[in-house]
């Protein structure tokens, strides 16, 4: 440690009754500053503290950690200024100028969000319940696409039909967001998207992908309408309220856990290159060390990769056509095959009963036709015999 920092730290801590964890926090903060800036805290200026913050932001440090380190450094800096003869007010004013590049307010807000992030993850049971409870194919499709694409609500609601490109293996959607246009691959939500497009009221390429019909006119689905639909579904299903951002948050956390790198995560989520959000998700996932630790303990890398978290939403193969279908779907959107075993068995029973009833009706109809034909033939024979009788005279004339 730099001698000036060591002396400053000892002088500051010796006159205060702090817990051991607090003392260790100050020590870590100073060592961290030395690691990235290599300078004595008391000799640092605004550009040094700003650069220190930028470097930590590019790493996977939690917002709360940066906030704690920054606060420790600021306290030490104020103490060093007071030791040089500045008053308390003057020292605080100078420290505020020196640390203007460290956004303490934003960091603490972000730290509070991070503390509650784990409670905002949607579970597989909740996602399945949402899809099963939603009745309209449009609502099912938008829930599935919101989750798998991890797009912002506004990005999904602004999609047009032309922005969807179906392929044999996967489907792509072209999204226009804050950082420009990006392409998102879809697999698990494709069956729901196909089912919705089959009944879409406007098939033109420029038509909104997710729409509603108001007074006979097709209009893009609004943000409030989507929020209301999700609220009603959650109330009906008896689960907590799940809003669109929770689906995005869950998917991005899932991708971070699966090993997606910071650059790929930024590109997928539509974040700017200098955004700290990707690092936040990677830290939240807490898996950056998992593979290395397991590999060091002798676990084969193939097994480690096989243990990656699986997505909450999974598609299945239709037993009839092999196309993708959702786990809650009753019919295949590709071929119309009935996927529910109970419904298929019930329909088969009804079909057999209907066929048996039809056969009975056919037999009865044939019997009626046979009798009618016999009556007609009898009537024709009687008519023919009447025609053969002699005209006029007494009955003897007939002989």
Length reported for the chain: 399
Task: List the structure tokens of 87.
Answer: 């008053």
Mean pLDDT by 10 residues, the chain (399 residues): 91 87 91 92 93 85 87 94 92 93 87 67 91 93 95 94 91 89 92 93 94 90 90 92 91 87 89 82 65 69 60 74 74 75 79 88 91 85 71 51
In contact, 122 and 247? CB cutoff 8 Å: yes
| Closest by CA position to 249, among listed 222, 280, 228 | 280
CB atoms within 10 A of CB 79: 20
Q: Is the C-alpha dihedral spanning 244, 246, 249, 250 positive or negative?
A: negative
- CATH match of 121-306 with 3.40.30.10: no
Give the pLDDT score at 272: 86
The residues, ordered by sequence, that sit 6+ positions from 164 with a Cβ below 8 Å of its Cβ are: 171, 172, 173, 193, 197, 209
- CA-CA distance, 259 to 290, in Å (whole number)? 10
Give the pLDDT score at 45: 93
DSSP letters of 63-127?
HHHHHHHHHHHHHHHHHHHHHTT--HHHHHHHHHHHTTTS-HHHHHHHHHHHHHHGGGPPPHHHH
- CA-CA distance, 221 to 78, in Å (whole number)? 54
């Amino acid at each position: 440690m730099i001698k000036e920092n060591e002396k400053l730290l000892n002088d500051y801590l010796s006159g205060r009754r702090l817990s051991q964890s607090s003392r260790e926090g100050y020590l870590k903060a100073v060592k961290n500053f030395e690691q990235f800036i290599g300078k004595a805290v008391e000799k640092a200026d605004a550009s040094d503290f700003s650069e220190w913050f930028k470097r930590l932001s590019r790493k996977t440090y939690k917002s709360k950690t940066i906030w704690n380190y920054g606060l420790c450094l600021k306290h030490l800096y104020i103490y060093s200024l007071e030791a040089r003869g500045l008053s308390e007010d003057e020292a605080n004013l100078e420290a505020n100028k020196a640390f203007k590049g460290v956004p303490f307010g934003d960091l603490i807000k972000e730290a509070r969000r991070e503390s509650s992030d784990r409670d905002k993850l949607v579970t597989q049971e909740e996602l399945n319940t949402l899809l099963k409870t939603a009745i309209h194919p449009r609502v099912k499709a938008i829930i599935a696409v919101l989750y798998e694409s991890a797009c912002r609500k506004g990005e999904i609601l602004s999609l047009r039909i032309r922005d969807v490109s179906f392929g044999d293996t996967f489907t792509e959607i072209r999204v226009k967001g804050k950082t420009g246009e990006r392409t998102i691959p879809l697999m698990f939500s494709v069956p729901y998207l196909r089912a919705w497009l089959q009944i879409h009221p406007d098939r033109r390429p420029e038509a909104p992908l997710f729409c509603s019909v108001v007074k006979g006119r097709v209009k893009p689905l609004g943000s409030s309408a989507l929020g209301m639909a999700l609220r009603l579904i959650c109330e009906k299903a008896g689960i907590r309220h799940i809003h669109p951002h929770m689906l995005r948050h869950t998917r991005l956390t899932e991708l971070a856990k699966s090993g997606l790198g910071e650059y790929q995560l930024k590109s997928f989520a539509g974040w700017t290159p200098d955004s700290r959000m990707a690092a936040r998700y990677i830290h939240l996932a807490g898996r950056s060390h998992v593979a290395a630790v397991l590999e060091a303990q002798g676990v084969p890398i193939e097994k480690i990769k096989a243990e990656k978290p699986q997505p909450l939403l999974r598609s299945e193969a239709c037993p009839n056509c092999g196309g993708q279908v959702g786990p809650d779907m009753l019919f295949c959107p590709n071929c119309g095959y009935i996927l529910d075993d109970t419904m298929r068995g019930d329909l088969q029973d009804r079909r057999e009963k209907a066929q048996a009833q039809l056969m009975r009706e056919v037999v009865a109809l044939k019997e009626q036709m046979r009798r009618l034909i016999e009556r007609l033939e009898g009537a024709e024979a009687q008519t023919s015999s009447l025609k053969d009788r002699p005209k006029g005279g007494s009955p003897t004339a007939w002989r």
